[in-house]
Structure 1
Amino acid sequence: MRIFIEKILLELSQILEKPVLKIGETSISFASLLQLVFSFVVVIIFCRILYNLLKNKLLINFGIDEGNREALATIFTYIFGSLGFLIVLESTGFNLASLAVLAGGLGIGLGFGIQNITANFISGLTLLVERSIKVGDIIELWISEEFKTLQGRVKKITLRSTVIQTLDGSSLIIPNSELVQKPILNCTYNDSNVQICLSINIEYGNDPLIVTEILLDAAYMEPLVAKDNPPQVIFNGFANGYLDFDLRVWINQIQDKNHVRSILNYAIEYNLRRQGIYFVTNRYVNEKSFSLYSQYNKFETQQKKISLRTLLRQVIYFQNFNDLDLRKLLEIGYRQQIKESEILFKENDPGDAFYIILSGKVEVFVSKINKHLTTLGKAQFFGELALMLAIPRTATVKALEDTTLFVINNQGFEKLLKGNPELAEEIVNELAKHQEELTSRQQQLREMGLIDESEDDINPVVWVRKRLKKVFDL
C-alpha cells in the first residue's frame, strides 16, 4: 500500500513539474503556477493589511486628514504591491526580461482595447498625487449636456474608479478619467463645510435689522449649523415692493443639508410670524395687501419679543450706535445656550467674552468663599470689563435655568474696535467713571504679573487706554 501511494505521489510530482508553457528561456510548470498564485494571494492580503494599517492607525497619529490619508495609503500600497509582485516573479524563477518581451507583444495587440483602462489608471494616479479631489470632499458633477448635476461626498479613490456617495445614500462609481477630463465643482476644496443658502423675501415696510436678527437667531439655534464658520445675512436690496435677503449657513455633513434647510425654514417662518413679519406671496404688492399687512402687524405688536437691538442699546458702550453699527454687532456676536446648573465660567478663567442674557437667569457668585453676589436675568449683561481689559474672571457664573446668551468674544470685539476706532475712547471715558474699581483691577493684575512697564501708569484711566490698545492691537 505504501509503495502504491509513493508511486501516485511520484507521478503527481512529475505532472506538476512537467513544463506546460515556455516564455523565452523560461519553462512554466503546474507547480510554479500554483506557487505563483499562492504568492500573489499572500501579497494581496499583505497589501490590504498595509492599507488599513496606514489609513486607520499610522497616518492618524501624524494628524493627517482623511483625504490625504486615503491618498498616501493607496499610493504606498500600490508601490509595495508592485514590488511584491516583482519579487514573487523573481523568486519563482520567471525571467522578467522574457516577460517584458511578451508584454510588449501583447501591448501592441491590446493597446487599442485597453486604452480606457490605461486612461483611468493614469487619471487615478493624477487624482491621488495632485489631491485636487480627496476622500471626504463634496463635489458636484455635470452628468448630462443639459447641465444636470449630481452632488455627493467622495468615499474612496482607487486607480481605476472613484466611489461617490450621493445625497440619497446611493453609491455612484465613476471612472477616474471622467473626474480628470470634465469640469468638477469641489464644494470643499479649501473648506470642509457645506453651504446652505436660503432666500427670504419680506414685505416692504419691515425693519431690515429686525429681519437680520431673526434670521441669525434661527441659524444659531440649530445645533447642526457650524459655529466655527458664522452664519451670514445678505441684504440683496429692494425689488417689486419686497425686501430680498439671503441667509447663508454652513454644515459639516452633506447628508444633513435638506434636513437643516427644512428646520431653518420652519424656524424662520415661526419667528417672523411672531414678530408680525410676513413673507411675500405675490411680489407685486398692491395697496390692499399692504393694508392687510399693517393690520396683522398691529394685531401682533403685543406678542413681539424685545429685539436684540433694544438690548444692545441698553449697554452703555453701544447706546450711541446707529442701526448700521448695530447690524455689524449682530453679525460679530453669536448665540450660546447653557442648561440649568451648567457653569458658564469660573473664577480666574480668561476674560475672553461679554454676555447679554436673551432669556433665562444666571447666578453670579464667588465659589472660594461661597458668597452669592447677584442674580441676572433677561436683558442684563455681564463680563464686559474682563473682556475689555483681558483680565481673569473674578466670579463664577452658573445658569439657574435654561438660558440663551448673546456672546461677543475677544476676536469679535477686536474686529468691532478696529471698525469703530472712536468706540475705544468712549469705553475709556465710560470706565473712567469707575476709577475705584479700575484701580482695584489694576493692582490685581500687578500682583499677578500681568502688567508690563510699557502699559502701567499711576493714572488708572491712562492705563486702561494703553491696555485697550495693547490687547486689541489698535
Structure 2
Amino acid sequence: MTKYLGLFLAAAPASILIAQVARTQRLWVAFIEAVQIMGIVAIAILADWLLLNLGIHQLQQRLHQKASQQSQPWLSLGASLLRLTLRILLWSFVLSWILQSAQSLSPWHERIDSTIQFLLKRVTVVFNTPFMELGRTKITLNFLFLILFLSFGVIFISHWVSEWLKSRILVQLRVDRGNQETITRVVSYSLSFIGFIVVLQTAGIDLSSLTVLAGVLGIGFGFGLQNLASNFISGLVILLEHPIKVGDFIEVDGLLGTVEKISIRATIIRTNDSQYVIVPNNRFIEKNVVNWSYGSPDSRIHIPVSVAYGSDTVLVTEALLSAARQDPRVLLTPPPSVWFRGFGESAYLFELLVWINRPQDSEPIKSALNFLIEQELRQRQIEVPFPQLDLRLRDLGELRSLAHYYHRCAASVPQTSAVTAPAAPEMAKAEPSLTNLLRNISCFSRCSNAELQMLIELGNREFYTVGEVICREGDPGDAFYIILEGSVEVRSEQLNQILATLYEGEFFGEIAVLTGMPRSATVRALEETVLFVVHRAAVQRLLQAHPQLAEEIARELAVRQQVLQELGLVNSQEIKSLPPLHWIRHRLKTLFDV
C-alpha cells in the first residue's frame, strides 16, 4: 500500500509537468499560427497598397495622358473594375491560405469550403438554366454575360483602333480636323457593326431568326422613332457629304458657334460665350445653314453708318477707311470699301465693308470698328444725326400769352453786368483730308471726288520709326507717299547730300510710280512718321477705270520736263528721238495698259 502510494505521489508531479509541457506546446503552436496569420495579412495589405492602389493609379495616369478626353471616363471605369476584381481575388486567396495553414481553423475551413462549393453549384445551375430560346440557341445568364463582355470588348477595340488611326496616321498626314473626326467616326461605327455581327455568329445565334425583331424595329422607326431615324440618317449624310466639319464656324436658326463634335444623332456647337448647344442633325438638312468656314475662312462683314445731311461724302469715306485700316484683324487684300446706300429720313446712309479671316471674331471686330469710326468722325467734325420729329401746335393763343408774360418779367429785371460766356473748348485738331492732300499733287489736281475716292480706298497707312528707311535710291518705284504725321529726309546717295526735308501734308515718289523709273533718292524718317501709301496697282486701277485721266497726267508730266531731266528720268537721246508728251504717253500705256 505504501509502495503504490509512493508511486502515486511520484507520478503526480510528473503528470502535472507533462500536462504543463503539452499545454505550453499547444500555446506555442497557437502563437506561431497567430504570427503566421498576422504576417500573411500584413503582406496582403502591403500588396493591396502597392499593386492595386499605387500601381493601377500610375497606370491610369499614363493612359489618361495618352488617351483622348472622350475615352478618359471609360478608362476610369475600367480601372475601378480592375481594382475591385483584383482585390476580391487577392483577399479570397489570403483567406483560403489562412484557413488551410492554421490547424485550429481546419473545421471552419471545411465548413466554408463546403458552403462555397454548394453556392457555386447553385450559381452554376442558375447561370446555365435556359430561360428562353432564340431559334436553335438557348439563352442563359451565362450566355448573356458572355455576349455583354464580348460587346464591351468590341466597343473598346473599335474605339482604340479609331483613336490610334487618328493620332498616328491622320495627324501625320496633316488631314484637317473635320476630316479626322469624320474618318474616325466612320471607322469606329464600321468596326463596331462588324464586331457585333461576328460576336453574334460566334455565339451561335442565327441572324435569320432576328428578322421578326428587325421588322418590329422598322415599324418602331417608322412611327414612334421617326425623329430618331431622321437624325440618324441626317448624321450619316453629314459625315459622308461634309457640308459641315468639326472646327467650322456656322450659323443655324440664329445660333452662331463652332462645331465641336458630330455624332450619329446630334451635333455639339460651342457658342462665342462658351456655351455648348446640342443641335439635332436634321436641323442641318432641313434648315438653311451658313457655314462661314466652308472652302475659305475669308468673309466680309457690313457695318452701317449714318451721317448728317450736308456732310462731305468723300471725307466720310476717308474716315471709314481710316478706321478700317487701324484694326489689324481687318484684311488689306481684298481692301476695305465704302458703299453709299442711299438717303434716309434724316441722314446719308453709308456702309463699311471689310474682309476678315476669323469669322468667329466678327462681333468683337464690329465693336472695335464702331469705336474707331466714332473717333474718326469726331476728329473730322462729321455729325452723326439723331431722329428728329416735327411738332405742330394747333392752338397758338395760349402760347403767345405765355410768351408775352415771360417777356414782361424779363424786362422788369434790372440789367446787371454782362456775364462772359465760357469759351468753347478748343476742338481737337482734325486730321488733314486725304482728298485735299491728293489734290496738292499736280498730277491729280484735276481729279474728281470719285476718282480720288478710288485711290483712298486702295491705299493704306504705314508707320515708320525714327531713322527707318522708307525707300532707297535705285529701288523700283512701286508706290508714292503722303506724309500724314512726322517728317522725312530726302538724301541723294550718289551726290552724298540732303536734297530736302518734307513735313506733314507733303508727298514724294509720284513721278517714279507714273514713269516706272527707279528711285532717285533715299527717304528716311526723321521722327515717328505716319504715311499714306498709294501703290502702283491702285494707280493702274484708277487709270483703267478713267482712261481720260491718263492724258491729263501725261500733259502735266510733260510740263515738268525740266524736273524729269534733273532727276535723270529722261535722257537726252529719248528727248531727241521722241517728244516728251509722246514718250510719257508711251510709258503710261506700257506700265498701266491704258
| TM-score range normalised by the length of the shorter chain | 0.7 to 0.9
Give the 5 Å matches for 1:90-239. Answer: 94=201, 98-99=206-207, 102=210, 104-105=214-215, 107-108=217-218, 110-111=220-221, 112-142=223-253, 149-187=254-292, 192-239=297-344
- 1:197 CA drift (Å): 3.4
Counterparts of 1:458 and 1:348 in 2: how far apart (Å)?
A: 25
**What one-letter code is carried by the residue in structure 2 that aligns with 1:308?**
L
| Residues 94 and 473 of structure 1, relative CA distance in 2, 3 Å threshold | farther
Aligned equivalent of 1:249, options 351, 354, 358: 354
Matched residue SS, 2:174: helix
- 1:356 CA drift (Å): 1.7
Does structure 1 conserve the Cα–Cα contact (< 8 Å) formed by 2:178 and 2:247?
A: no
**What one-letter code is carried by the residue in structure 1 that aligns with 2:545?**
G
| Residues 31 and 391 of structure 1, relative CA distance in 2, 3 Å threshold | farther
Residue by residue, what CA displacement relative to the aligned partner does 1:106-125 show, whole Å, maximum 9, x if unpaired?
A: 63354244433332232233
The TM-score, its normalising length taken from structure 2, stands at 0.60
Counterparts of 1:326 and 1:281 in 2: how far apart (Å)?
A: 30
Counterparts of 1:99 and 1:315 in 2: how far apart (Å)?
A: 88
Aligned equivalent of 2:458, options 294, 307, 332: 332
Q: Residue in 1 aligned with 2:18?
A: none
Does structure 1 conserve the Cα–Cα contact (< 8 Å) formed by 2:297 and 2:359?
A: no
Q: Quick check: which has more Rg, 1 or 2?
A: 2
Does structure 1 conserve the Cα–Cα contact (< 8 Å) formed by 2:137 and 2:205?
A: no
Counterparts of 2:129 and 2:481 in 1: how far apart (Å)?
A: 86
- Which is richer in strand? 1
Matched residue SS, 2:443: coil
**Structure 1, 192-201 or 352-361: larger mean CA deviation:** 192-201
| Residues 150 and 39 of structure 1, relative CA distance in 2, 3 Å threshold | closer
- 1:211 CA drift (Å): 1.7
**What one-letter code is carried by the residue in structure 1 that aligns with 2:588?**
L
Tell me how many residue pairs correspond in the alignment.
431
Do structure 1's residue 353 and structure 2's residue 473 form an aligned pair?
no
Q: Residue in 1 aligned with 2:185?
A: 78
Matched residue SS, 2:173: helix
Counterparts of 1:50 and 1:198 in 2: how far apart (Å)?
A: 45
Matched residue SS, 1:229: coil
| Residues 240 and 470 of structure 1, relative CA distance in 2, 3 Å threshold | same
Q: Residue in 2 aligned with 1:317?
A: 443
Do structure 1's residue 306 and structure 2's residue 432 form an aligned pair?
yes
Residue by residue, what CA displacement relative to the aligned partner does 1:255-284 show, whole Å, maximum 9, x if unpaired?
A: 544433333333333332333332212335
| Residues 174 and 402 of structure 1, relative CA distance in 2, 3 Å threshold | farther
Does structure 1 conserve the Cα–Cα contact (< 8 Å) formed by 2:134 and 2:205?
A: no
Counterparts of 2:308 and 2:268 in 1: how far apart (Å)?
A: 46
Do structure 1's residue 41 and structure 2's residue 156 form an aligned pair?
yes
Counterparts of 1:407 and 1:270 in 2: how far apart (Å)?
A: 22
Does structure 2 conserve the Cα–Cα contact (< 8 Å) formed by 1:235 and 1:246?
A: yes
| Residues 167 and 347 of structure 1, relative CA distance in 2, 3 Å threshold | farther
**What one-letter code is carried by the residue in structure 1 that aligns with 2:540?**
E
- 1:51 CA drift (Å): 3.2
| Residues 336 and 460 of structure 1, relative CA distance in 2, 3 Å threshold | farther
Matched residue SS, 2:297: coil
- 1:416 CA drift (Å): 0.8
Aligned equivalent of 1:412, options 538, 557, 563: 538
| Residues 55 and 431 of structure 1, relative CA distance in 2, 3 Å threshold | farther
Counterparts of 2:557 and 2:149 in 1: how far apart (Å)?
A: 88
Does structure 1 conserve the Cα–Cα contact (< 8 Å) formed by 2:490 and 2:522?
A: yes
- 1:220 CA drift (Å): 1.3
Larger relative contact order (Cα-Cα within 8 Å, sequence gap ≥ 6): 1
Matched residue SS, 2:569: helix
- 1:181 CA drift (Å): 0.7
Counterparts of 1:118 and 1:301 in 2: how far apart (Å)?
A: 68
- 1:138 CA drift (Å): 4.1
Counterparts of 1:402 and 1:54 in 2: how far apart (Å)?
A: 51
| Residues 24 and 242 of structure 1, relative CA distance in 2, 3 Å threshold | same
- 1:317 CA drift (Å): 1.6
Matched residue SS, 2:273: coil
| Residues 31 and 18 of structure 1, relative CA distance in 2, 3 Å threshold | farther
**Structure 1, 434-443 or 253-262: larger mean CA deviation:** 434-443
Matched residue SS, 1:317: helix
Counterparts of 2:464 and 2:129 in 1: how far apart (Å)?
A: 79
- 1:374 CA drift (Å): 4.8
Give the 5 Å matches for 1:45-84. Answer: 45-52=160-167, 56-60=171-175, 69-84=176-191
- 1:376 CA drift (Å): 3.5
Counterparts of 1:164 and 1:303 in 2: how far apart (Å)?
A: 48
| Residues 320 and 52 of structure 1, relative CA distance in 2, 3 Å threshold | farther
Residue by residue, what CA displacement relative to the aligned partner does 1:138-192 show, whole Å, maximum 9, x if unpaired?
A: 43333xxxxxx33334344333322323232322221110121123344565663
- Which is richer in helix? 2
Does structure 2 conserve the Cα–Cα contact (< 8 Å) formed by 1:275 and 1:301?
A: no
Residue by residue, what CA displacement relative to the aligned partner does 1:357-395 show, whole Å, maximum 9, x if unpaired?
A: 211234455789987665443222233344345566566
Residue by residue, what CA displacement relative to the aligned partner does 1:188-246 show, whole Å, maximum 9, x if unpaired?
A: 65663454433333222222211221122122112232322322222233344533322
Residue by residue, what CA displacement relative to the aligned partner does 1:405-432 show, whole Å, maximum 9, x if unpaired?
A: 2222233222111111122233333444
Q: Which runs of 5+ in 1 are unaligned?
A: 61-68, 143-148, 287-297, 444-456
Do structure 1's residue 438 and structure 2's residue 569 form an aligned pair?
yes
- 1:33 CA drift (Å): 5.0
Does structure 1 conserve the Cα–Cα contact (< 8 Å) formed by 2:301 and 2:355?
A: yes
RMSD: 4.4
| Residues 315 and 134 of structure 1, relative CA distance in 2, 3 Å threshold | farther
Q: Which runs of 5+ in 2 are unaligned?
A: 1-92, 98-112, 392-423
**What one-letter code is carried by the residue in structure 2 that aligns with 1:403?**
T
Q: Residue in 1 aligned with 2:529?
A: 403
Matched residue SS, 1:58: coil
Matched residue SS, 1:223: coil
**Structure 1, 123-132 or 206-215: larger mean CA deviation:** 123-132
Does structure 2 conserve the Cα–Cα contact (< 8 Å) formed by 1:23 and 1:99?
A: no
| Residues 463 and 313 of structure 1, relative CA distance in 2, 3 Å threshold | same
| Residues 40 and 129 of structure 1, relative CA distance in 2, 3 Å threshold | closer
Aligned equivalent of 2:388, options 283, 307, 325: 283
Does structure 1 conserve the Cα–Cα contact (< 8 Å) formed by 2:486 and 2:527?
A: yes
- 1:314 CA drift (Å): 1.2
